[in-house]
Amino acid sequence: MPPIILHHGLFGAGGFRGIDRAIAEAGHPVFVSMVHPTAGIEKRAKQLQQWILSIAPRFSGSRAVLIAHSMGGLDARYMLSHLGMAERIEALVTISTPHRGSPYADWCAQHLGRRLRGFEVVRRFGLDVDGVLDVTTDRCARFNEKTHDVPGVRYFSVSVSCPWRELPAFGIPSWYIVQRADGDNDGLVSVNSARWATHLANWRSDHWRAINQRYGLAAITAGDISPEYLSLIRGIA
């Protein structure tokens, strides 16, 4: 069975709770990434590359299936297109990745960045928050112009959406911002933005439950999302 890599998105380190265990129990070698939680795409992609090279000897000669959540999908696309990693990766599956950016990131850049100078303040403390700016719609448009899918790697995507009533309370304001700008979404990323290459499914979930981070009654009662991952892997592996 091919090895499976799970790669986290912005602020997503420590996600995929129980998902890695379910995949391992299905017989796949599974590896969970750890890169900078808030840095920009290029920096995170280079860290992802170096980490994959460090574990590649454990692939037993196979190419891996890389499953990337949220901004992690942009890291993975950059790595494949610009860092020559196609020989290590058989397929990329992006889960609720803002391929065309997020209107909520636009809102944050405008209100927290330009008006309140929030990004300047956190940078003075040595914090790297370029990841927030890299998922704005403008930067993603420029990213897509120069970052092309690589021949020999299969690209798949999964979008995620739910009604606002099924979101944790902290996700409702961002849901409305994205809904007004780009339609159905999961609280951060629209279905339209998440669709890329071969679109496999639209999960009824919020952005956080998509990696088994369950907040709010609806997400808790909906249960473990690991079976959705196993279904994906069976379909493409």
Q: Among 12-16, 45-49, 57-61, 216-220, which range has the highest average pLDDT?
A: 45-49
Is it the case that residue 128 has pLDDT exceeding 50? yes
Q: Do the Cβ atoms of 162 and 206 come closer than 8 Å? A: yes
Over residues 134-193, the pLDDT tens digits come to 999 999 999 999 999 999 999 999 999 999 999 999 999 999 999 999 999 999 999 999
Q: Do the Cβ atoms of 24 and 220 come closer than 8 Å? A: no
pTM of the model: 0.93
Structure tokens that stand for 237 in this block: 């592996």
Domain regions of the chain by residue span: 4-236
Average pLDDT over all residues of the chain: 92
**221 — pLDDT class (breaks 50, 70, 90):** confident
CATH topology of domain 4-236: Rossmann fold (3.40.50)
**115 — pLDDT class (breaks 50, 70, 90):** very low
Distances (CA, A) of 134 to 44, 74, 131, 155, 187: 11, 9, 5, 21, 18
